[in-house]
Structure 1
């Protein structure tokens, strides 16, 4: 056990977390009530399948004892604390109950943070997903048209390092990638410059459940939200109808802006990886 929070302390933090999470998800929840979809902002709720209610649930992080918390004694991955009705998230119980997941999350966080960022992909993974393909995953027109989009792919080298982007490449785009990617090889290729690896920090934090402090989880969500914006600004789609201003990576200036923001996200992502490992295992990346 690393710390203890009185009932007044942890319930105040829980309420602050609820307020912050509600503000972050308000627009999505309003759209859902109207049965409307947003091609950029809804991604974090559909691709990752984590609902606003899950994001709203506050936890203190591994080993932090909550006093006067009888309702949490029976929660998953919590253990009774040293005093009556106290409880704390239990990293050892999680590791014993989910050894493969615990090992994977630790490997992905540590290995990704340990590598130098690569900043020459220019977000072309989204272009590779529509390359020479008349039917697209997203029902949104292409900003440069099909021929113009294909030409951008053909005049650049595809350098994708993220399998969960690569697996959506069109058949003609797959052999154009610098390296073939597989699920098994994901821990080998993942690197902090990748936008999708940065978004996945949110996924890893969510998978650890109560072992990650709620405030840190929301920081990871905010990073994923900000990255998603650039990801779609640099994509080949015409999203002007949703107010998205493109970052034209087919130009010199567009590439420069993309890389500048990409570097900032890499720094934020690595800082969050270190914070997750510290909160969960007491060690930095």
Structure 2
């Protein structure tokens, strides 16, 4: 069943979305114009491939049509994976999307459902970032280490590393790989990813992006904003000195730092859990309309 939005309603939603997206990406766009780099925020655009112009596009989501206004059909009529009805109403074309993305939708649904089924582990203390510079003199950020190389290595040596996320583990230095209690792989991602992991929570943005116009605009921006907020903690708790960015360290090598990290980690896990549930719902709505071979559980 499709819900129809009248022009005044969807135009207001579209304009509000554009304003919010512009505010979220303003700093990045200004820096890009001058070639300035940002060791915290650039990750969202470089690693995730986020494009402000794509983030700015408002989508109504599955099962919502946009009624035509005085000037004709909604601009979505010219966008990929949209269909225009005889009366000029425009809606997301689930069938066309699934022709291209059914396999991805099934994987995302399976992964997010698996993560949601597990308890959050909050005892990693962000040591994945420390393992990425362990016993290595060259680092990806041109920033000093708070404790120096020897002090950083000593923190790694004195802690147990339990990283569950492959896309963090794969950046460990050669000497750090063997220190991790687990051996995450791409193939074991569904079995290992868990809701306490900062990177698994940031990845809500990745999955929302891959689901594209199936994701309502507010959910897409909520996922991006969550990733931005988590990225800050990820770097504050890292071995790098971010004082030049005006950011205080979360010194996870101390009891106080561990307590702060775990508390914020739990807050992010709760936020991510709510967004993850909505993304699972998007996947389910898509797969309910799929051919039998691509439905949930098929």
- Do both proteins adopt the same fold according to a TM-score greater than 0.5, normalized to the shorter chain? yes
**75, 96, 99: which one aligns with 1:96:** 99
Q: How does 1:201-216 map to 2 (within 5 A)?
A: 201-216=204-219
* Residue 108 in structure 1 maps to residue 90 in structure 2: no
| 2:14 corresponding residue in structure 1 | 14
Q: d(CA) in 2 for partners of 1:7 and 1:279?
A: 24
Q: Deviations for 1:227-283, whole angstroms, at most 9, x for unmatched residues?
A: 001000000001111111000000001000000000010010010011122245349
Cα distance, 1:70–1:271 mapped onto 2, change above 3 Å = closer
Deviation at 1:70, TM superposition (A): 5.3
Partner in structure 1 of residue 246 of structure 2: 243
Give the gaps of 5 or more residues in structure 2.
Answer: 287-298
Residue 74 of structure 1 deviates from its aligned partner by: 4.6
Choose the corresponding residue for 1:200, options 192, 203, 216. Answer: 203
Give matches, 1:1-285, under 5 Å: 1-68=1-68, 69=73, 71-81=75-85, 83-282=86-285
Shift of 1:6: 1.2
Deviations 1:22-63 (A, max 9, x none): 111111111111211110022111110111111101000112
Runs (4+) off by over 6 Å: none
| Aligned-partner Cα distance in 2 for 1:254–1:269 | 22
For each residue in 1:79-124, what CA deviation from the matched residue of structure 2 results, as whole angstroms up to 9, or x when unmatched?
334x511121133432332222111111121111111111110000
Question: Contact 1:61 / 1:280 at 8 angstroms: preserved in 2?
Answer: no
Distance in 1 (alpha carbons) for counterparts of 2:81 and 2:160: 45
Q: Quick check: 1:131–1:153 contact (8 Å CA) kept in 2?
A: yes
Counterparts of 1:4 and 1:70, CA distance in 2: 12
Alignment partners' CA distance in 1, 2:76 and 2:217: 15
Q: In structure 1, list runs of 5 or more residues that go unmatched.
A: none
With normalisation by structure 1, the TM-score equals: 0.95
Contact 2:121/2:197 (8 A) holds in 1: yes
TM-score (norm 2): 0.91
**Number of matched pairs:** 282
